[in-house]
Amino acid sequence: MLSINKIQLAFCAFFFTAFTVNGQTQRPVRQCSSGTHTHTPVTQFRTTPYLSQAKIKKTNRTTLLNLPVVVHIVHRSNESIDTGNNLSYDQIMSQINATNKDLKLENPNKEQTLQEFQNSISKLNIELKMAIYDPNGNELEEPGVNRIVGSGGYSSIQANRLISENIWNPEKYLNIWVIPLSSGDLGYAFFPNYLEFADGIVGSGEIASNTIDGVVIDPNFFGSNEFKTYDNLRAPYDLGRTLTHELGHYFGLLHIWGTGGNSSCAVDDQGEYLNHDFCDDTPHISSNHASGSITVCDGTNSNVTTYLCETEKFNSAQYQNFMDYTDDACMTMFSLDQKARVDIVMDSAPQRATLNADSPTGTINLNATQGKDFHALTWTLEDVDNAKAIIVEKQIDNEGYQIISPALSLTTDSYNYYYDPSEVSKKISYRVYLINNNAYSYPSNQIYIQDGVVGIRPPAVDSSFTIFPNPSEGIFTFNPSEYMHQQGVVEVLSIYGKKILTKYIYDKNNTVSIDLSSQPRGTYIMLLRSDKGTYTQRCIKR
C-alpha cells in the first residue's frame, strides 16, 4: 500500500560519466546530477486528498491507456537521417516498442524478477502511440516524429529554451525530446504540475507547464539493441530503459530510495523513514545501485543487501525496479504501489489526464487473406464516433508494432501489405485503429499470418477462470481472490468480439456477479484483466 503520511519530492537526472584509463574508455555509470535544475530545499508537508486510499481505490485502472507521442529529434544541419544525432525511424521505433513492453509488463526479462517480488509486479497499462497529425491537423510524414535542426550539444538551460520554443500542446501530446546533452546527462523529465510536486518541494524548472514539459533523452541512450544493433547506443544502457525510467518521473514516480542521489536509513521519532518513495512495496534503501562495482542482476550477488534498510521485512533490495539506477538488463519491474501513484496522476493531473481524453470509439472487426505476394486486410466498422481516419499497424514476430499505412478515410475497408520475401516465414501480425487529430481508439482484434496461414489472435491470457453456474439463465458468478491482487475488470464480449458489459472489481474477497439476463441466449466470452494477469472463460446463457 502507498504511504500517505507525507510527501517529499526532489528530482535527479540520470548522469553519464566516462573516463579513460590506459587508453580504454570505461563503462558509463549512472549517477545523480544535482545541478541540472535549480532546487529549493527539500521539505515535508501533509498529503492532500489526492493521495488518499479512497482516491486510489477509485482510480485503479485496468484498461489500457494510449498516449499520443511526438519524438522531437534535434540534430545538426549536416546530419541526414540515420547519421549522427539524426536517428533513423527504425531506431526511434526500437525505443518506443521497448518502452511499451516495459509499461505493459511484456518485457522479455520480467521472469528474472526475484521471487520475493513476484506478487508486487504490476503493469502500468500504458502504451505510447505515435501521433499521426501535427498541432495544425497536418498528417506527419513520419508518424510521431518531428525533426528539428539545431546544434551538437546543449546545456540544460539551452535544452529547456529549445523545448519552450518547439513544444507541441502538452495537453494533447507526450513530448519526448532527443537532444544531445553537453552535460553528460543520460536524460531527465518534468514532474506533473500537481500540488504535491509544486508546493515548493522541487525547483520551478522541474515542474511541467504549458511551455515546458515531457522527457529529455540524449541520443546515445535512445533506442534498443534487443533485436538490432545501433552503433551510437552506449552499453550498458542500450536496451531503452532510460526512457522507461524518466517516464516514471513524468508519471509522478520517485526513485525507490526517495529524493536526491542517495538516502539513508534514518527514521523520525515515529519510526518513519526521513526519505522514501511513499510506496510500501519498494523496500527502503540508503543508496542507489548505480556503481559500476555493484552490477546486481540476480539474487546471488551479496550486494543486493548492501543498502537495504528493511532487513526484517525484506530479503533483498528491489534493485530490479525501473526507478533504481541499475543497468538496463537488470531492470524488470514497476510495483503495485507505483502503479497506484501513476493512476492518480493520469486520472487528474494537468497535462496528463487530458492525453487521449477525446479518443474515438467504435468496434473494428479485422480479417485477412493471403495473396500471391501480399496480405489483403479487410475490416468492418460498428458504432463509430469521434473518428477522423483509420490506420493499420504491423508487427514482425514479437519486435513491436509499427504503422504501415497513411491515414485512411473512414469509408476505406481494405488495405494490402506487400511483404518482403525475407518476411515469408515470420509471423506477421496486424491491427487497426480509429484515430482523430490527437487520440487513438482501442484496437481491432489482431490477425496474424505465418507461412500463408491466417489466424485470429485472441487476447493474451494466462489461463481460464471458473464461472458458476455455467450454463446459466443469466446470472454468472465467480470468486476473484485467486485471479487478482488488488483490482481487476471483467469484460463480456459477444462471439463476434463486440463488448457487451464492463464491470470493475475493487475487492477481491467479494463474489462477483455478472448479469446477462437482458441479453439474448447464446455463447459469450468473459475476459478478466487484473494486476495478476489476464484470464478468459466461455459462458452460455440458456
Q: Quote the CA–CA distance of 531 and 84 in Å, as a whole number.
A: 41
Q: Quote the CA–CA distance of 132 and 407 in Å, as a whole number.
A: 8
Q: Quote the CA–CA distance of 35 and 156 in Å, as a whole number.
A: 9
Q: Quote the CA–CA distance of 196 and 45 in Å, as a whole number.
A: 9
> Looking at the domain that runs over 463-541, which CATH code has it been given?
2.60.40.3080
Element (H, E) at 447: strand 446-450
Element (H, E) at 162: helix 156-166
| pLDDT value of residue 495 | 62
Element (H, E) at 103: helix 89-103
Residues of the chain with pLDDT under 50: 1-25, 31-55, 459-460
Chain centroid, CA 220 distance in Å:
21
Kindly tell me the burial class for residue 347, based on how many C-beta atoms sit within 10 Å of its own C-beta (0-12, 13-18, 19 or more). Answer: middle
Domain residue ranges in the chain:
65-348, 361-450, 463-541
Preceding amide of 236 cis, omega within 30: yes
Q: Quote the CA–CA distance of 522 and 424 in Å, as a whole number.
A: 39
| pLDDT value of residue 126 | 96
Pick the CATH number of 65-348 from 2.70.170.10, 3.40.390.10, 3.40.50.1220, 2.40.110.10: 3.40.390.10
| pLDDT value of residue 281 | 94
| pLDDT value of residue 71 | 99
The two domains 361-450 and 463-541 share their CATH topology (first three levels equal): yes
Residue 179 is which amino acid?
I
| pLDDT value of residue 527 | 86
CB 178 within 8 A of CB 219: yes
Q: Quote the CA–CA distance of 255 and 246 in Å, as a whole number.
A: 10
CB 492 within 8 A of CB 516: yes
Plot region of 430 (φ>0 → left; ψ -120 to 50 → alpha; else → beta)? beta
- Considering only CA atoms, which of 282, 203, 251, 247 is closest in space to residue 42? 203
Q: Quote the CA–CA distance of 188 and 250 in Å, as a whole number.
A: 9
* Cell representation of residue 96: 518506443
Pick the CATH number of 361-450 from 2.60.40.10, 1.10.3470.10, 3.40.50.880, 3.30.1330.60: 2.60.40.10
Digit-coded pLDDT (tens) for 213-248: 999 999 999 999 999 999 999 999 999 999 999 999
| pLDDT value of residue 299 | 60
| pLDDT value of residue 47 | 32
Q: Quote the CA–CA distance of 445 and 489 in Å, as a whole number.
A: 19
| pLDDT value of residue 278 | 82
Instruction: Return the residue matching grid coordinates 472489481.
Output: 505
Residues 6 or more apart whose Cβ sits within 8 Å of residue 314: 116, 283, 308
Question: What pairing do the DSSP bridges indicate for beta strands 522-530 and 488-494?
Answer: antiparallel
- Considering only CA atoms, which of 293, 292, 297, 258 is closest in space to residue 278? 258
| pLDDT value of residue 14 | 43
What pTM did the predictor assign?
Answer: 0.80
Torsion of the alpha carbons at 147, 152, 155 and 157, rounded to the nearest 10 = -40
Q: Quote the CA–CA distance of 140 and 132 in Å, as a whole number.
A: 6
